Structure 1
Amino acid sequence: MPPGMNTENEALPPLAAPDQTLSTWHWLLGGAALVVLLAGLKAAAGVVTPLLLAAFLAIICAPPLTWMRRRGVPGSVAVLALFVAVGLAFFLLFLALQGAVESMAHQAPHYQARLFGLFDETMAWLAGRGVPAELLPDRPPLPALADLTGLARAVAGGVGQFTATTFLVLLAFMFLLLEETHLPGKLRAAFPRSRRGGVRARRFLRSVYRYLFIKSATSLATGLLVGVGLALIGVDFPVLWGILAGLLNFIPTVGSILAAIPAVLIAFLGLGVMEGLLALALYVAVNVVIGSVLEPRFMGHTLGLSPLVVLVSLMAWGWVLGPVGMLLSIPLTMIAKLALEAQPGTRWLAIMMSDRARGH
């Protein structure tokens, strides 16, 4: 040791500070990049939204495509069959949805008059029980009759206008299906020396295929059960409520509540208290059986999202892509979570996004 050096009084510089500063800058740059990316997606929402819908359709149809190819069906024939099936489903869906919304527009005056009648009866009952008149509202906080009917007709017109973008969605869907037939070979060529990277990529794709296929199947089952059940009860517009229940099933918890409110209200106004309670019981039974029993059984318990993550996803994707973004928010967030799980360095982020603490 050189003379004059005092090892006790001379402190060594901290080694962790540069690494901490670098890590902080990485997080700040990553957050800024994420904000710029979301703003860019919002600016290009008119193009991004159809492509996202086509991508989700292609992912959902990947298992049937693989199944047909394993049975010896040529790739082009399998793609054409799926294209025709999905196109026909879109056509029938839009016809049913537009017819139901137009019928609701015609019957809106009847339901609003019934609602005002029940409101007046309730206010009279409260006044008879001694509630001061100044505390009772004069009318329910609802839009005027002309506004409600015009809103229903505007929705019907919007459904018709949305069919104009269907061709673009189906066209992109067909090309994405053709791309999926070459994806395994591309993965092998992309990771010729990194076997672990290829395995991770294939595992991630299988997880995405499995999640979206099972979620779509359970959403379809939810819509069918709700629509058929409401039709048996006698509730008006069961096709509309079934479609709404199936679409909103992609949003955990909140979607089921939002789907049930208008249908149960229509049941109460149009049929009575008993039918309204039956409609409410139907929604509860379907969502408990499918959401709490079947989905966890087929998907596994590792695919849950934190309620805070669900809320932030709805707000963020709704801001970026509008109503379609809110419907796709949870699948998009789940895909991001699966991508984080596929890499050891980011697996801790996937755990933080989960609904409970689990090892991965």
Structure 2
Amino acid sequence: MLVPWLVGTIVACWLYFGRSILIPIILAILLSFLLAPVVAIIRRSGLPRTPSVIFAVLIALCGIGVTGAVIVSQASTLSQDAPAYAERIAEKAARVRADVQGKFGFLTRETPSGGSGHRAAERARQQGERDLSARTDAEVIPVEVRDPPLTAFQEIQTIVVPALAPLETVLIVVIVTIFVLFQKDDLRDRLIRLMGSSDLHRSTIALDDGATRLSRYFLSQFFVNCGFGIIIWCGLFVLGIPSPGLWGILAALLRFVPYVGSIVAAAGPIAIAAAVDPGWSLATYVALLFLIVEPIIGYALEPMIYGRSTGLSPVSVVVAALFWTWIWGPIGLVLSMPLTLMLVVLGRHVPAFAFFDIMLGDRPALSPAETFYQRALGGHAEEAVEQAEVLLETRSLATYYEEVVLPGLRLAAADVDRGAVERSAMRAICDAAKETLVMLADHIDIDAHVAAPDVATGPGKLEQGEVICFPGAGPLDAAIAMMGAQLLRREGYTVREQSRDRLRGEGGEILDLGDAEIICILGLFDPRAASRMKRVAAALENRFASSRVIIGVARNVEPAIGIEDIDTALPRTFSDVTHAIQLARLELASGAGTCDS
């Protein structure tokens, strides 16, 4: 248990202390994902790879240079008026506080009794402190310490050294980006070798698919966020907010952080609007600008461009933003979404990194059948019904039973066989499954509303005759029989459910078929149980010569081995059971011999 925590701690320390090297490399990789489609477009015009890469990098550098120049110019203009803006915001905050105190009176620190005497004593104390300070200042001789004037070399150093760090980062990013774009095919081959060259086809498809998806997603997101920043820039310019270009660029950058990026980007313009405008109308207009533009882009434009899902769960987005901000600061906040998405895509294609896809991806960690089994194992029938309601929005109840409930119960039987679950837990699983089936019995499929209005025996089904359903002797067979009875009723059959005691003839009750010609014995039958049910079916057909007995369903979906492969002759789904009933009815109607079920 300590090994994963130790590895995680080492990786976190490596990311933190190596950020000066890792940040430029990560920026270069992301920039290469952005520029790869551009290079491909340029190469289609007939240019070789080298000039195409150089031209694409020059376009990126020009864009970065223009953006940096706008930020510097806008920030310098804003910094000159920043003290005045801060003072106005403080005055407005004081007025708001005074208004709240006047209306509600819960923020004042004064007590009702003795308030005037306390204020007088406080004023006397402050006056005494001012007098003492004045006398002290008159007696003290002021002394001022000044540093010697800087030499020409020191002045150059103070200007050049702070500028070297960002220039060094930009240079590293540009060089690594160029090499990545030049060596794209070679890097892909090396990654395939790391993934394992034994399955070149699957590894190649995985890498190409992941790289293509990432490139398209990052490029689409880049243009969408740039469009968002331009709209905010223009809107703030029309409203008269100082330095609109700065806020527009920050809005575009912060929008790479989903959910909270736009909120953080709106805080600065709203504060400046409150400082510029004596009232609150300008700040309200700025807030409305963000509230209108963000939903339109987030819920209308983005789904049309690159789908509704980013591939990340909402919780993982927030956790990733906190983690990368803690590791790399503000640049980590901007890079949190792309970095996490890269890890998830890598986890979907490389088994060694599957941990990231499971923990951070938006795909369900369990299949629907496994989820149903987990809910039934815990006795949470309500949660199973909630899952069913979601799945039934896109499928029929029969499909849900065939693809989710039946495989889930098969998983339970398999766990009992291999000793992972106590046999005593099967009763609780069966009860939870039956409770779920009862709550879903009246569900109407989405396509059932188009049925003919004169059909009354089921959702679009005609009367098919009468069937008697018995559960087998297994601990889950009662749920299987209930499920089969519901589906047969939906097919138009009149179903009478009987207890397994009457099947064995216990209690002195005499089995009366009435008008029924078909007897169904339903449960999860392995080869041995199926062999026993075959003998029971033979006895029933000898006793009721005009009836046919159908046994289903098989416990395993794969062909079984043992006891003359009886399991392979059993229906494996409820659709197979319905088909067997139809064949038996046709055989009875034509006067044929016995039905081999």
TM-score tier, shorter chain, comes to 0.7 to 0.9
Percent identical pairs in the alignment equals 26
Structure-2 separation of matches of 1:124 and 1:186 = 67
Alignment of 1:178 with 2:182, yes or no, is: yes
Q: For residues 279-327 of structure 1, what are the alpha-carbon distances to aligned partners after superposition, in whole Å with 9 as ceiling and x for unaligned? A: 1111122211212222223222342422321222122222222221121
Q: For residues 237-280 of structure 1, what are the alpha-carbon distances to aligned partners after superposition, in whole Å with 9 as ceiling and x for unaligned? A: 11111111111111111111100011112112213422222211
Matches for 1:83-102 after TM superposition, within 5 Å = 83-102=57-76
- Counterpart in the other structure of 1:292: 299
- Say which structure is richer in helix: 1
What SS does the corresponding residue of 1:103 show, helix, strand or coil? helix
Structure 2, unpaired ranges of 5+: 111-160, 369-597
Structure-1 separation of matches of 2:203 and 2:107 = 72
Structure-2 separation of matches of 1:129 and 1:252 = 38
Per-residue deviation, 1:346: 6.7
Aligned with 2:23 (options 49, 74, 82): 49
Q: Compared with structure 1, are the counterparts of its residues 133 and 176 closer, same or farther at alpha carbon in structure 2 (3 Å cutoff)? A: closer
Per-residue deviation, 1:176: 1.8
Structure-1 separation of matches of 2:108 and 2:42 = 69
What is the root-mean-square deviation of aligned Cα atoms in Å?
2.9
Aligned with 1:216 (options 210, 219, 222): 222
Q: Which is higher, the Rg of structure 1 or of structure 2?
A: 2
Q: Which has the higher contact order (CA 8 A, sep 6+)?
A: 1
More deviation, 348-357/112-121: 348-357
- Counterpart in the other structure of 2:253: 247
Aligned with 1:326 (options 325, 333, 340): 333
Contact 2:228 2:297 in 1 (8 A): yes
Contact 2:234 2:244 in 1 (8 A): yes
Count of aligned pairs: 314
Amino acid corresponding to residue 184 of structure 2 in structure 1: E
Per-residue deviation, 1:188: 8.1
Q: Compared with structure 1, are the counterparts of its residues 68 and 99 closer, same or farther at alpha carbon in structure 2 (3 Å cutoff)? A: same
Alignment of 1:229 with 2:203, yes or no, is: no
Matches for 1:60-71 after TM superposition, within 5 Å = 60-71=34-45
Structure-2 separation of matches of 1:133 and 1:316 = 37
What SS does the corresponding residue of 2:32 show, helix, strand or coil? helix
What SS does the corresponding residue of 1:134 show, helix, strand or coil? coil
Q: Compared with structure 1, are the counterparts of its residues 312 and 276 closer, same or farther at alpha carbon in structure 2 (3 Å cutoff)? A: same
Q: Compared with structure 1, are the counterparts of its residues 194 and 30 closer, same or farther at alpha carbon in structure 2 (3 Å cutoff)? A: farther
Per-residue deviation, 1:72: 1.1
Q: TM-score, normalised by structure 2?
A: 0.48
Structure-1 separation of matches of 2:197 and 2:104 = 78
Q: Compared with structure 1, are the counterparts of its residues 70 and 84 closer, same or farther at alpha carbon in structure 2 (3 Å cutoff)? A: same
Alignment of 1:315 with 2:322, yes or no, is: yes
Amino acid corresponding to residue 332 of structure 2 in structure 1: G
Q: Compared with structure 1, are the counterparts of its residues 226 and 207 closer, same or farther at alpha carbon in structure 2 (3 Å cutoff)? A: same
- Counterpart in the other structure of 2:208: 202
Structure 1, unpaired ranges of 5+: 1-24, 137-156
Contact 2:343 2:356 in 1 (8 A): no
- Counterpart in the other structure of 1:141: none
- Counterpart in the other structure of 1:126: 100
Per-residue deviation, 1:81: 0.9
Per-residue deviation, 1:351: 5.3
